[in-house]
Amino acid sequence: MATSFVEQGELNLQFENCLKVKEFLKNHLGRTPLAFTHTYGCQGNVAEGERIDGMLKMMGYEFCDDASKADFVLFNTCAVREHAEERVFGNIGMLKKFKETNPNLIIAVCGCMVQQEHIKERLRKSFPYVDIVFGTHAIHTLPEHVLNCLTKEERVFAVPESDGVVFEGVPSEHTNTLKAFLPISYGCNNFCTYCVVPLVKGRERSRRYEDIINDAKRLVAEGFKEIMLIGQNVNSYGNDFGETNLFSKLLKEIDEIPGDFIIRFMTSHPKDCSFELIDTIAQCKKVEHHLHLPFQSGNDRVLKEMNRHYDRERYVTVAKYAKEKIPDIAITSDVIVGFPGETREEFLDTVSLIREVEFSSLYIFIYSPRVGTKAATMPDPITAEEKSARFKELSDAQAAVAEGRNLSMKGKTYRALIEGRNKAGRLGGRTSQNIMIEFDGPDELIGTFQNIKVTEPLTWILKGELQ
Ligand code: SAH
Ligand code: SF4
């Protein structure tokens, strides 16, 4: 499928709408309008939220961190698990009282949740004070909806069905001054049976190679110290142009951009993670030694039921190759416990895999049935208590693995980007392996790279000394 790009003419109309909103607010509000926006979920959503903020800025909004003071409140939502969805509904419910005190307040909800029919209808019926609901394929149309909402006082539901679009040229309002997310593709073609992402984010669409390179150069010139390339499956970047291994080429070219910065990327799908990619990480100077490679389950029957297109052996082979080529690499992963029908023996294969691969950290999720996915129709006899017990057992096993790994870092020195102070007042940064390290030092070090010697490795963080 050819990627469908939003035409410049259409975007120009939206930019004009931004100016119209700005003019309207200037005449009717008589002060600077304030926006409160909040993004839930993955880095992809965060990057979309930054483009939405970019458009709001063009409309004249400034940002505040208190929804009760805002003239425009937006929730950019995540649909990956039920728990996340319920949290969003709770937070939308809390906005009702702000609407009562400020009738001019505009409330908007967007992102993956609203792309689901049953959620859109729940918002329509049970949350009448939500003014604008716009889907993942209508992000660039926000200015027109804000304008209509202000001038015609219309409730808007803009949730087109689509395989997805790509739009370029909307400036991002970055939430972090040191680290920038740089999307390289949108959507997903994999249809893992438990996952709602392909249903709500559309088919995989790669951005144009030159657009990504130009963005990377601009981010470096703007002073960002870390660029994280993001996509649901970065390894298949460019497959929709008929290219293979284009991601390795992209990494090498960004690595060549002059400047003191580091490169990270996520997520890698094990079925597409080539040895060439690992060789590329090893050759590059700026690509950090961290590979996020979600395995989801250590059992072959469950992996098949999940439609993951690799088996345990393939996963272990890739992980071992990465460790041989790059001995200090950290491999992290996502895993689901309690997939429908997962037996205790099958779960124990997952426990043994984490010991075999020695992950430096794991995101463990209890399976959550998602409307419209194949897994949601599979018999699921395992009780919630059993699933929680498996979660705890796996967390404990991983804590022991991480502790052992971190212990092996004692006495060694690691370069880290210093990000700021933690609650205890100590400076903190992340090593190449993406492990948090804290130490004492002056504020001037924030935003710089420093060498830190590990003096006290703990389970989740390292304590160290400035060298
Ligand atoms: N594209 C990425 C992951 C995106 S979703 C990948 O394939 O690795 C992030 C993680 O959420 C997944 O890796 C999976 O572990 C988890 N997840 C997705 N759907 C889920 C569900 N229905 N229940 C529980 N966890 C889920
Ligand atoms: Fe979901 Fe699988 Fe696509 Fe990841 S690869 S987003 S888990 S369908």
Is 233 near ligand 2, meaning CB less than 6 Å away? yes
Question: In whole angstroms, what is the distance from residue 260 CA to residue 418 CA?
Answer: 13
**Ligand 2 atom nearest to 307, measured from its CA:** 2
pLDDT at 149: 94
CA of 258 to the centre of ligand 1 (A): 35
3-state secondary structure of 392: helix
Preceding omega of 431 cis (within 30 degrees of 0) = no
Mutate to test the pocket of ligand 1, among 46, 80, 377 (most ligand atoms within 8 A of CB): 80
The model's confidence at residue 2, banded by pLDDT at 50, 70 and 90, is low
Q: What does the pLDDT look like over 309-342, one tens digit per residue?
A: 999 999 999 999 999 999 999 999 999 999 999 9
163 Cβ neighbours under 8 A, 6+ residues apart = 1, 4, 187, 202, 203
Residue 72 has pLDDT above 80, yes or no: yes
Mean pLDDT over the full length of the chain: 96
Is 198 near ligand 1, meaning CB less than 6 Å away? no
The model's confidence at residue 230, banded by pLDDT at 50, 70 and 90, is very high
Is 197 near ligand 2, meaning CB less than 6 Å away? yes
Residue 139 has pLDDT above 80, yes or no: yes
**Ligand 1 atom nearest to 366, measured from its CA:** 24
pLDDT at 403: 93
DSSP string covering 283-328: H-SSB-SEEE---B-S-HHHHHHTT-S--HHHHHHHHHHHHHHSTT
Is 367 near ligand 1, meaning CB less than 6 Å away? yes
CA of 292 to the centre of ligand 1 (A): 13
Q: What's the average model confidence in pLDDT over 250-274?
A: 97
**Ligand 1 atom nearest to 294, measured from its CA:** 8
Helix (H) or strand (E) holding 274: none
Sorted by where each begins, the domain ranges of the chain are: 8-158, 176-288, 292-408, 413-466
Is the fold of 8-158 the same as that of 176-288? no
153 Cβ neighbours under 8 A, 6+ residues apart = none
292-408 architecture in CATH? 2-Layer Sandwich (3.30)
365 Cβ neighbours under 8 A, 6+ residues apart = 81, 334, 335, 336, 337
Is 190 near ligand 2, meaning CB less than 6 Å away? yes
413-466 architecture in CATH? Beta Barrel (2.40)
pLDDT at 30: 86
Is 269 near ligand 2, meaning CB less than 6 Å away? yes
- The closest of 262, 336, 326 to 291, measured between CA atoms, is 326
Residue 373 has pLDDT above 90, yes or no: yes
| Residue 364, strand partner residues | 335
Residue located nearest, by CA, to atom 2 of ligand 1: 232
Question: In whole angstroms, what is the distance from residue 141 CA to residue 120 CA?
Answer: 17
pLDDT at 255: 98
The model's confidence at residue 154, banded by pLDDT at 50, 70 and 90, is confident
pLDDT at 1: 59
Mutate to test the pocket of ligand 1, among 42, 46, 334 (most ligand atoms within 8 A of CB): 334
* Ligand closest to the CA atom of residue 191: 2
Is 368 near ligand 1, meaning CB less than 6 Å away? yes
384 Cβ neighbours under 8 A, 6+ residues apart = none
Report the CATH number of the 176-288 domain.
3.30.750.210
CA of 195 to the centre of ligand 1 (A): 6
Q: Left, alpha or beta for 383 (phi > 0: left; psi -120 to 50: alpha)?
A: beta
Q: What does the pLDDT look like over 91-131, one tens digit per residue?
A: 999 999 999 899 889 999 999 999 999 999 999 999 999 99
Q: What does the pLDDT look like over 173-214, one tens digit per residue?
A: 998 999 999 999 999 999 999 999 999 999 999 999 999 999
* 8-158 placed in CATH 3.40.50.970: no
Helix (H) or strand (E) holding 144: helix 142-152
Q: What's the average model confidence in pLDDT over 257-277?
A: 97
Residue 53 has pLDDT above 80, yes or no: yes
Q: Left, alpha or beta for 286 (phi > 0: left; psi -120 to 50: alpha)?
A: alpha
Is 197 near ligand 1, meaning CB less than 6 Å away? yes
